[in-house]
């Protein structure tokens, strides 16, 4: 196995106007400006690297009401990306209490329309219909939800219902919901729907469009808000997951059982944006020389594939390091653009961003010249 050459380099001098973040799972250091929230549990997190900026009872298991539909809608839109098939609504699909997008047995809608109904008007009927259409039953769909939760890193969450209606075994944590919110907002179609203040939803049968308003008031009340979902039951109280973006920084805020959730989120997001900046790491002209065996030259120049970025806190700028991983040597031929290593930017072992290292040029293999004896033998062949 080819040995790896690893290098760590401090970035203080390279990031004159940048910042850095605390390690994941740790609240931002108190600076007299931490928000005071009404929520029983809360988390504020950077979306790109899951850095916790503020937390309150972040790992306490609590019900999450209709914020559950973030997961249901995400899975539905992923299924729709493969095939946005039409769903004929049955009695079983609409046999659910609570908020509704107005589905009736015999209606025909697409999976995308069901996701729109979940994210805009929080339709329990839409969540039920999607679950049954995709997995055959709400129980089987819950298995898919829990599988995806594990993939995301939601270690203290268990889904039972696709809509978020109360169940003793249906719970999450504020931290887990922040991970889910960040993941869901990476999906372009999910983000497009969740960011709309209102939207026309097309039904196939009847062939009509219905306009639904979004329950998320922060879309109009907070500058930069781009999602995601509200929730409420008597047991869970008011639940809210929000996402806002300013100057390249994307934050996710979560409150569970929050009497004053709108103001909680405004305070948390204001706090986060006052602390965090977006920093660019540009090594597209790195010019690192890597030895090459059997080539027309002894080494080749490698560069970062693209300019990376990360949300960071200003007060710990000096802790940023970049780690270069390349083989001790390469074998010719090497093609321009060939991936030859990896460049990672990190703080205290936590990865902020990473890019591939690419060969900056072609390096052909050296052609071996035949000896006089070999050429003499060739003459007789």
Active site residues: 66, 69, 122
Residue 143 annotated as binding? Answer: no
Separation CA 367–CA 352 (nearest Å): 43
Q: Helices (DSSP H) in the chain: which residue ranges?
A: 69-82, 91-94, 111-121, 124-135, 138-152, 174-184, 188-194, 218-221, 261-275, 372-380
Those residues whose C-beta lies under 8 Å from the C-beta of residue 86, and which sit 6 or more positions away, are 108, 109, 110, 204
**Burial (CB count within 10 angstroms: exposed 0-12, middle 13-18, buried 19+), residue 260:** middle
Question: Residue 51 belongs to what H/E stretch?
Answer: none
Whose CA is closest to 195, among 221, 228, 222, 217?
228
Q: Helices (DSSP H) in 201-313: which residue ranges?
A: 218-221, 261-275
Half-sphere exposure of 298 (CA within 13 A, CB side): 0
Q: Which residues are annotated as a binding site for substrate?
A: 229
């Amino acid at each position: 196995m080819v040995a790896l050459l690893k290098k760590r380099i401090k970035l203080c001098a390279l990031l004159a106007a940048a910042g850095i973040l605390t390690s994941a799972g740790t609240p931002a250091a108190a600076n007299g400006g931490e928000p005071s929230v009404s929520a029983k549990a809360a988390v504020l997190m950077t979306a790109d690297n899951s850095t916790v900026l503020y937390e309150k009872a972040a790992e306490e298991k609590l019900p999450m009401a209709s914020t559950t539909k973030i997961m249901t809608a995400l899975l539905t839109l992923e299924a729709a990306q493969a095939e946005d098939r039409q769903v004929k609504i049955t009695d079983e699909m609409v046999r659910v209490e609570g908020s509704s997008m107005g589905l009736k047995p015999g209606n025909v809608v697409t999976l995308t329309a069901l996701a729109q109904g979940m994210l805009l008007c929080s339709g329990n009927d839409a969540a039920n219909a999607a679950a049954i259409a995709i997995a055959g039953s709400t129980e089987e769909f819950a298995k898919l939800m829990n599988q995806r939760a594990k993939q995301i890193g939601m270690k203290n969450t268990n889904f039972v219902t696709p809509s978020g209606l109360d169940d003793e075994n249906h719970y999450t944590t504020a931290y887990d919901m922040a991970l889910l919110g960040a993941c869901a907002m990476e999906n372009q179609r999910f983000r497009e729907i969740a960011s709309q203040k209102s939207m026309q939803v097309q039904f196939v049968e009847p062939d009509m469009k219905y306009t639904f308003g979004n329950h998320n008031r922060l879309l109009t009340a907070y500058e930069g808000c781009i999602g995601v979902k509200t929730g409420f039951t008597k047991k869970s109280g008011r639940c809210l997951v929000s996402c806002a973006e300013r100057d390249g920084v994307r934050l996710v805020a979560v409150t569970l059982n929050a009497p004053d959730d709108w103001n909680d989120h405004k305070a948390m997001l204001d706090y986060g944006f006052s602390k965090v900046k977006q920093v660019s790491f540009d090594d597209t002209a790195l010019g690192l020389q890597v030895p090459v065996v059997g080539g027309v030259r002894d080494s080749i120049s490698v560069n970062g594939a693209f300019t990376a970025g990360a949300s960071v806190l200003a007060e710990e700028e000096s802790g940023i390091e970049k780690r270069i991983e390349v083989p001790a040597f390469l074998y010719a031929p090497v093609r321009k653009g060939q991936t030859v290593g990896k460049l990672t930017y990190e703080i205290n072992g936590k990865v902020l961003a990473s890019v591939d290292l690419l060969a900056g040029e072609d390096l052909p293999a050296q052609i071996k010249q035949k000896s006089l004896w070999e050429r003499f033998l060739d003459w007789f062949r």
